[in-house]
Structure 1
Amino acid sequence: MPINEIAGCIGCETCVKACPTDVIQMDLNQGKAYIAYPEDCQICHLCRLYCPVDAISITPEKSIPVVVSWR
């Protein structure tokens, strides 16, 4: 599972709106986001980048390494 957890979610739905593949959904009973389709995650990091409380972590083995082009 690429996205590890959504600990500390405040229910703002920013990650749900940012996710281009609809992986993250809102649990209306708890008022918090959850990972509905982890196998469909494209590891784009948009959920993590837009989260205002830094509640999303991505496992290191699934994280995209930073690539720098040197000439």
Structure 2
Amino acid sequence: MGIRKIDYEVCDGCRQCTRICPEDVLRFDQENHKPLIQYLRDCQACFLCEIYCPRQAIYVTPYRERRAVMPW
């Protein structure tokens, strides 16, 4: 579950997704003027970023995925 992708070709860098996220999953990249998925494991799939994106550039998946086990 969580943010599946951000379509950077559609995204205009409005920062709405970084402001609306209650878990602070997204961070804004000052160099590229685009949001980055910084803390994917914290995403609760609330769909707020997808709903409030004015350009529909974010896709959140409701399905649980198996992510790679990290060695720490």
Which band: TM-score by shorter chain? 0.7 to 0.9
Runs of 4+ aligned structure 1 residues displaced above 6 Å come to none
- For structure 1, the 5+ residue unaligned runs are 63-71
Instruction: Give the match for residue 50 of structure 2.
Output: 48
State the Cα RMSD in Å.
1.3
Matched-pair identity in %? 45
1:60/1:41 CA distance change after superposition, 3 Å: closer
**What's the TM-score once normalised by structure 1's chain length?**
0.80
1:60 Cα deviation after fit:
4.7
1:45 Cα deviation after fit:
0.6
**What's the TM-score once normalised by structure 2's chain length?**
0.79
Of the two, which has the highest radius of gyration? 1
- For structure 2, the 5+ residue unaligned runs are 65-72
The answer as to whether partners of 2:2 and 2:61 remain within 8 angstroms in 1 is: yes
Aligned length: 62
